[in-house]
């Protein structure tokens, strides 16, 4: 659903899972004086979360933790002036890097290598943003249930469970800040209720003095860095000679780009096509099959909520399917992919 998340406040115990992804009564830790919010359906919750990032500028620290123990943390600054959304995300763990996003323009600063990588990407996918995807019918594939209220990073939040109605997608438990609708905590749930990944703000200032022009100047300050800008061409799967024989229930095409793997003039390219059901997303990366790099057998791996399937789909093509969905969903995408006739 989103790439990146925050601190673990405790994975759900098996006894709590038996009671459903609510993990008991989330409202139990909240003050009894807090009023009970009105129930909303899936579409109303998503609409509320869509508009949240432009309601206020904010700054905070968020942590992502997977069930296997992998953890990362980042500091984020976000501003919106109605026309532009700007973000700065600075890693606090792992390799130092700072990612700026101005609408769909992305620049990644790697200070140790003194390199800036530029790209254009759809804005869906960066926590805490909920992707805007047209043509989906999310309510056909998820139901919503208000579980109560809890405080996250000192802010009162509604706890909402998005329960999937089939086995092609994971469930989500979200903590939505009451006043702004901003997602401040997110858990991705396996089909059996296990928490696969958790992201949340450990610190969040909804009154931060963050301005678009300030972030934009920092993003454009590349002096002393080598700027690498691989070519990106917008296209469609069909224009590139590929189709899904049948649609995967609930998923619609969002975008498709052919990207050079490096900035060299003769660099090979990879076709990336993104599909989404309005919450979950799947990316298909297609490239020329190379027996020196690609194994004879299909490859499967996963970390937290993100699953990966890589295999040969034609004598000359290798596909890598990646998404925060069950592995069977990736297998379905790969199995339905074929050359356009």
**What CATH number does the domain containing 182 carry?**
2.50.20.10
- Largest Cα separation within the chain, whole Å, is 65
Phi and psi for 110 in degrees, rounded to 5?
Answer: -115, 95
Q: State pLDDT tens for residues 231-268.
A: 889 999 999 999 999 999 999 999 999 988 766 666 68
Residue position matching structure tokens 């942590």: 63
Which pLDDT value is given to residue 277?
92
Same domain, residue pair 41 and 172: yes
Same domain, residue pair 180 and 262: no
Query: Looking at the domain assignment, is residue 5 inside a domain?
Result: no
For residues 296-325, average pLDDT: 95
Same domain, residue pair 113 and 174: yes
Token output for 319: 């596909």
Same domain, residue pair 309 and 259: yes
Q: Are 21 and 173 in contact (CB under 8 A)?
A: yes
Query: Looking at the domain assignment, is residue 1 inside a domain?
Result: no
Number of domains in the chain: 2
Which pLDDT value is given to residue 128?
56
For residues 324-332, average pLDDT: 97
For residues 331-341, average pLDDT: 93
Same domain, residue pair 134 and 60: yes
Which pLDDT value is given to residue 167?
97
Same domain, residue pair 213 and 271: no
Instruction: Name which of 114, 82, 109, 111 is nearest 220 in CA terms.
Output: 109
Same domain, residue pair 175 and 207: yes
Of 169, 193, 220, which closes a domain? Answer: 220
Of 170, 199, 220, which closes a domain? Answer: 220
CA distances from 230 to 66, 89, 118, 255 (A): 31, 21, 7, 18
Number of other CB atoms surrounding residue 268 within 10 Å: 12
- Compare 25 and 281 and report the one with higher pLDDT: 281
Same domain, residue pair 148 and 237: no
Same domain, residue pair 239 and 104: no
Residue position matching structure tokens 């990073």: 153
Which pLDDT value is given to residue 326?
97
| CA–CA separation, 87 and 162 (whole Å) | 27
- pLDDT of residue 17 exceeding 50: no
Structural domain for 308, as ranges: 230-339
Q: Is 213 strand, coil or helix?
A: helix
Exposed, middle or buried: residue 39 (CB in 10 Å: 0-12, 13-18, 19+)?
exposed
Same domain, residue pair 32 and 180: yes
- Compare 29 and 1 and report the one with higher pLDDT: 1
Query: Looking at the domain assignment, is residue 38 inside a domain?
Result: yes
125 φ/ψ sector (left φ>0, alpha ψ -120 to 50, else beta): left
Q: Are 280 and 252 in contact (CB under 8 A)?
A: no
For residues 288-315, average pLDDT: 94
- pLDDT of residue 288 exceeding 50: yes
Q: State pLDDT tens for residues 209-232.
A: 999 999 999 999 999 999 998 888
Query: Looking at the domain assignment, is residue 8 inside a domain?
Result: no
Query: Looking at the domain assignment, is residue 2 inside a domain?
Result: no
Same domain, residue pair 272 and 201: no
| CA–CA separation, 189 and 196 (whole Å) | 6
The CATH number that applies at residue 277 is: 3.30.200.100
Q: State pLDDT tens for residues 88-143.
A: 999 999 999 999 999 889 999 999 999 999 987 754 444 555 666 766 788 899 99
Query: Looking at the domain assignment, is residue 293 inside a domain?
Result: yes
Same domain, residue pair 274 and 162: no
Name the pLDDT band for 44 (thresholds 50, 70, 90). Answer: confident
Query: Looking at the domain assignment, is residue 143 inside a domain?
Result: yes
Query: Looking at the domain assignment, is residue 7 inside a domain?
Result: no
Of 220, 250, 281, which closes a domain? Answer: 220
């Amino acid at each position: 659903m989103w790439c990146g998340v925050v601190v673990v406040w405790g994975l759900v115990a098996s006894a709590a899972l038996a009671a459903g992804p609510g993990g008991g009564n989330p409202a139990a830790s909240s003050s009894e004086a807090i009023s009970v919010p009105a129930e909303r359906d899936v579409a109303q919750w998503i609409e509320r979360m869509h508009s949240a990032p432009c309601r206020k500028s904010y700054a905070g620290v968020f942590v992502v933790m997977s069930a296997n123990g992998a953890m990362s943390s980042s500091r984020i600054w976000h501003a919106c002036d109605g026309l532009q959304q700007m973000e700065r995300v600075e890693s606090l763990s792992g390799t130092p890097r700072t990612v700026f996003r101005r609408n769909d323009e992305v620049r990644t600063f790697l200070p140790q290598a003194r390199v800036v990588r530029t790209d254009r990407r759809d804005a869906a996918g960066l926590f805490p943003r909920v992707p805007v995807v047209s043509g989906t019918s999310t309510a056909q594939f998820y139901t919503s249930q208000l579980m109560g209220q809890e405080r996250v990073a000192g802010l009162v939040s509604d706890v909402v469970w998005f329960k999937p109605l089939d086995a092609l997608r994971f469930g989500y438990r979200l903590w939505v800040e009451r006043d702004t609708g901003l997602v401040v905590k997110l858990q991705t749930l396996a089909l059996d209720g296990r928490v696969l990944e958790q992201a949340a703000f450990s610190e969040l200032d909804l009154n931060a003095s963050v301005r678009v022009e300030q972030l934009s100047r920092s993003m454009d300050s590349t002096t002393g860095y080598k700027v690498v800008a691989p070519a990106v061409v917008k296209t469609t799967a069909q224009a590139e000679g590929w189709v899904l024989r049948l649609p995967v229930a609930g998923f619609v095409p969002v975008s498709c780009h052919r990207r050079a793997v490096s900035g060299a003039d003769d660099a090979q390219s990879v076709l990336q096509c993104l599909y989404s059901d309005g919450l979950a997303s799947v990316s298909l990366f297609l490239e020329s099959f190379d027996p020196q790099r690609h194994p004879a057998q299909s490859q499967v791996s996963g970390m937290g909520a993100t699953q990966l399937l890589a295999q040969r789909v034609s004598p000359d093509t290798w596909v890598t399917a990646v998404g925060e969905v069950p592995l069977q969903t990736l297998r379905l995408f790969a199995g339905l992919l074929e050359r356009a006739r």
